[in-house]
Amino acid sequence: MIWISLRRAKVSFSVLEIADRLNIKLVNRTGNEFVFICPFCSGQKEYPKLYINQDKGVFVCHHCHLRGSITDLWALRCGVDTKTAYKQMVNSVSADIQPIESEPVPIKDTEKLNLIYNEFLKMLTLEPRHKEDLLRRGIIDTSGFKSLPEDAKTRWNICSILNRKYGLDDVPGFREQISRKGKPYWDCYRSGMLIPVKDVYQRLAGFQIRTEREPKYIWFSYRSQSKSCVNVIPGKGIPWIIEGVLKSYVTNHFLQIPCFGIPGTDTWRLVPFELIRGGKVIVAYDMEDNPYSLKARDSLISHLDSIGIEPVVAGWNKTMGKGIDDACLYVFKQGIKPRPEMFLPGIAA
Ligand SMILES: [Zn+2]
């Protein structure tokens, strides 16, 4: 039996055993190299182009250009991350093979974006440092947040799968690049945490990226591609307009209020005002003396007045922090449950 060793791992796997468990058909063997029918690009027509090198523990398909380690192969075949893949391989867990359609599925616009972005998220993991960041902000349910893979091969493989299945031509955040050898491949942004932006039906419309440098927030979208807009968290009660998408998640968690998270002070124009019920809205911009920010807030307020919606401006002591999310967290850390009325005009004991 032929064994391959995984880098930095003490466990060896048999190429044939792994291929068998993944239901990949062997067609040939030349020295150290095994040739299989590629399960990723073969449909009606089979492509015997998947090579696995037993010494290096790597695979490559010379038809669809997927490549990676044996663990990557397992991960891609089963639709799990590599950590899970490794565990399943070691523990002889039977492979739960994900069907991959070779023909692009035609879907339109918002539905298509939602489908692709959801599938994209499923293939990503959340880096511990990003998870810690979310927990520090007060977000307990971190399941909707993911990290962009810094490993280029992982990114290319994921993009390649999505492109083959749906076609990424009109999908913001992805673009086709040309390798040094002149071969086209798909890629996306290479680092940061994805903050989902959803519409009122809770369909994924796009992402903001929390970067680890300035600017802190960018769109998951290249120049000339459309930008996702306002994050909508629907529900009963007076709606809030909150400056910041991530802040809308934090504030919703603490105050249980329906809200719109706008990506910047000036982007209030993107709010779907027609969704607002009850004729009243609470505006929670950062407590800043910045004249541009104040001007933007004032123009939002006069717009609300002009369309017959009563604006109420939320406020708090600046020592509690700049944003409504900081203020909620501040109250929470005092051992008090934050409530919406704490940030609204009034007198209370
Ligand atoms: Zn292939």
**pLDDT tens digits, 200-258:** 999 999 999 999 888 899 899 887 787 768 999 999 999 999 999 999 999 999 999 99
pLDDT higher than 70, residue 308: yes
Pick the CATH number of 229-349 from 2.40.128, 3.40.1360, 3.30.470, 2.40.50: 3.40.1360
37 C-alpha vs ligand 1 centroid, how far in Å? 8
Q: What is the pLDDT of residue 63?
A: 82
126 C-alpha vs ligand 1 centroid, how far in Å? 28
- Cβ-defined contacts of 122-127 (< 8 Å, 24+): 122/79, 123/79, 123/81, 123/158, 123/161, 124/81, 124/148, 124/149, 124/158, 124/194, 125/81, 125/83, 126/193, 127/193
Instruction: Quick: pLDDT tens for 188-209.
Output: 999 999 999 999 999 999 999 9
Q: What is the pLDDT of residue 127?
A: 96
255 C-alpha vs ligand 1 centroid, how far in Å? 49
Between 83-92, 114-123, 278-287, the lowest mean confidence (pLDDT) is in 83-92
pLDDT higher than 50, residue 84: yes
pLDDT higher than 70, residue 101: no
48 C-alpha vs ligand 1 centroid, how far in Å? 8
Give the residue extent of every domain in the chain: 3-90, 104-197, 229-349
122 C-alpha vs ligand 1 centroid, how far in Å? 21
43 C-alpha vs ligand 1 centroid, how far in Å? 10
Quick one: CATH architecture of 3-90? Alpha-Beta Complex (3.90)
56 C-alpha vs ligand 1 centroid, how far in Å? 19
61 C-alpha vs ligand 1 centroid, how far in Å? 5
Q: What is the largest CA-CA distance in the chain?
A: 82
